[in-house]
Amino acid sequence: MDAKQAILEGKTALGIEFGSTRIKAVLTDEDFRPIANGAHSWENRLENGVWTYSLDDIWKGLQDCYAGLASDVKEKYGTELTTVGSIGFSAMMHGYMVFNDRDELMVPFRTWRNTITGEASEKLTKLFKFHIPQRWSVAHLYQSALEGMDHVKDIKYLSTLAGYVHWKLTGVKAVGIGEASGMFPIDPDTLDYDENMIKLFDEDIASKGYPWKIRDILPKVLVAGESAGNLTEEGAKLLDVSGKLQSGIPLCPAEGDAGTGMTATNAVAPRTGNVSAGTSCFAMVVLENNLKDVYDELDIVTTPTGKPVAMAHCNNCTSDLNAWVGLFDEVIKLAGADIDMQQLYSKLFAKALEGESDGGGVLAYNYLSGEHITHLDEGRPLVTRMPDAKLTLANFMRVTLFTALGALKTGMNILIRKENVRVEKITGHGGWFNAKGSGQRIMAAALGVPVEVMETAGEGGPWGMAILADYMRRKAEGETLEDFLSKRVFADAKGELMAPVDEDVKGFDAFLERYSAGLPIEKAATEYLK
């Protein structure tokens, strides 16, 4: 079936993902190929010590993204987009959006980027004997309770960004299990919130006299393939301000960017893994067995079907790199020249491969915000070196790429070296891999395992969300997500597998020793640079 016919007959799937810097939409055909796209750029803001986006940011961004998609459809195929076969929404996981009985947002949306729940994270981890990262929704809730914030008593619904958008478009208060696993711990046997931890939480805050139990305010948990409601008339108008989109379209459970990343890389089965590298970065490995210990540096989340996943998540990845590339672009323009930005990125990534294996003694930190893996509440980007270090462009770029993965490597070392988790390969996706070959080689050096990049890697999360929407609509009776991906979506997928180069691995390990030893420098910068 050609793309236009699929659009006219509604045999398409739409995935929309709210990333840190872009909201992206992908429309796929019956062969899972992207046939139209839309995007909207946005940025979070630090307001009163909280990283946030406003409700106006969310809805205007979504509407602009969808309008771009509809425009792309009309331009390519000469037809209006009035319906699709199924829709799915995803977003940055975690965070805190709380609503009262009038469905009003009571405090500004707190994103995953905030590191303001240290006390709650520590106390809940001890209470549950399960690591609760600072960015998890339950950590924000508990911290608000610990601080006696007035709004807590009036909470009727606690959601994430993806869950909020899904609710407003369908009226359904539910999220996918992968998204839910970043709100509150999941029991992989019941495919629901862990009942023992639910009881422990309620008992712990009982003395505060809140009129709710935590299960009452959390969204319902759904697994991939289940129906999660339909687009209402109000939802259709909210999504498409032109009024052309019809209501009644089925929606799959809203997922987090971790779940869409796993789906987009066919990494939902045990001993598979994927790494997403962009504004933030995370590496995930689907586990065969539970970890032997509890680690502050590792999260336990789930696949979209509820299998346990160990995740090393870092707040900082390419933002500081982007700033440096922007600076180099200014220099080029000052010299009276011009260059395409993607070409500049590719050239600078490639230049990094010419540097000394450990970066020649240069040290950098890319922390625009705090980093829980290295136990820093705030960040200050910095570059330093010994006087005899060789500050060449190649060494500088190598270190700039190395430091973008420094915290990630710190977390993955625990998983691979302490827990002896077997990983056959890691599949990469995200903007990091747009620099063909070089980004992949640096990532293989950091993780110490083969890294595969598929042809679809650039599609990323919104494409993965469209696949999950398609799975809900088109799965056969009893067909698992693993089979759907392996036998249908990725049956003929092409990719390039790159094994780590020994010299690169040794160089990264040497850099990481310098990186770990220098963390007090970064800590001092946060204390003295105010």
Tens-digit pLDDT profile for residues 188-233? 999 999 999 999 999 999 999 999 999 999 999 999 999 999 999 9
Residue corresponding to tokens 């009003």: 104
In the chain, which residues fall in CATH 3.30.420.40?
266-315+411-495
Task: Give long-range contacts, CB 8 A cutoff, 24+ apart: 26-33.
Answer: 26/459, 26/462, 26/463, 26/465, 26/466, 27/69, 27/73, 27/81, 27/84, 27/466, 28/463, 28/466, 28/467, 28/470, 29/1, 29/3, 30/1, 30/6, 32/466, 32/467, 32/470, 32/488, 32/489
Q: Which amino acid is at 519?
A: L
What's the confidence (pLDDT) of residue 434?
Answer: 84
The Cα–Cα gap between 459 and 497 comes to 18
Mean local confidence (pLDDT), 333-341: 96
Name the band, by pLDDT with cuts 50, 70 and 90, for residue 270.
Answer: confident
CA atoms within 13 A on the CB side of 379: 24
Is residue 424 pLDDT above 90, yes or no? Answer: no
5's enclosing H/E stretch is: helix 3-8
The whole-model pTM stands at 0.84
Is residue 457 pLDDT above 60, yes or no? Answer: no
What's the confidence (pLDDT) of residue 459?
Answer: 64
Mean local confidence (pLDDT), 507-526: 97
Count how many residues are written for the chain: 530
Question: Helix (H) and strand (E) counts for the chain?
Answer: 19, 22
* Cα torsion angle, 60, 61, 66, 70, sign: positive
The region of weakest confidence among 173-187, 226-240, 265-279, 316-330 is 265-279
Domain 266-315+411-495 has CATH 3.30.420.40: yes
What's the confidence (pLDDT) of residue 431?
Answer: 82
Ramachandran region, residue 271 (left: φ > 0; alpha: ψ -120 to 50; beta: rest):
left
Mean local confidence (pLDDT), 335-349: 96
Mean local confidence (pLDDT), 492-505: 92
Is residue 97 pLDDT above 80, yes or no? Answer: yes
Name the band, by pLDDT with cuts 50, 70 and 90, for residue 458.
Answer: low
E strand spans, 391-436: 425-429
Are the beta carbons of 360 and 352 closer than 8 angstroms? no
| Per-residue model confidence as pLDDT tens digits over 396-417 | 999 999 999 999 999 999 988 8
Higher per-residue confidence, 434 vs 471? 471
Are the beta carbons of 277 and 260 closer than 8 angstroms? no
Under 8 Å CB-to-CB from 420, ≥6 apart: which residues?
none
The Cα–Cα gap between 388 and 452 comes to 37
Is residue 386 pLDDT above 80, yes or no? Answer: yes
SS3 178: helix
The chain-wide mean pLDDT, for the chain, equals 95
Percent of the chain whose predicted confidence (pLDDT) is above 90: 85
What's the confidence (pLDDT) of residue 417?
Answer: 87
Are the beta carbons of 291 and 419 closer than 8 angstroms? yes
The Cα–Cα gap between 181 and 206 comes to 23
Under 8 Å CB-to-CB from 460, ≥6 apart: which residues?
17, 24, 260, 261, 264, 276, 429, 430
What's the confidence (pLDDT) of residue 81?
Answer: 97
| Per-residue model confidence as pLDDT tens digits over 49-90 | 999 999 999 999 999 999 999 999 999 999 999 999 999 999
How many other CB atoms sit within 10 Å of the CB of residue 246?
15
Is residue 107 pLDDT above 90, yes or no? Answer: yes
Q: How far is CA 83 from CA 140, 168, 294, 341, 526, in A?
A: 38, 18, 46, 36, 51
Are the beta carbons of 273 and 286 closer than 8 angstroms? yes
Ramachandran region, residue 32 (left: φ > 0; alpha: ψ -120 to 50; beta: rest):
left
Strand partners, 98: 158
Is residue 303 pLDDT above 90, yes or no? Answer: yes
Burial 112-123 (b: 16+ CB within 10 A, else e): bbbbbbeebbeb
Is residue 455 pLDDT above 80, yes or no? Answer: no
Q: Which amino acid is at 472?
A: M
SS3 273: strand
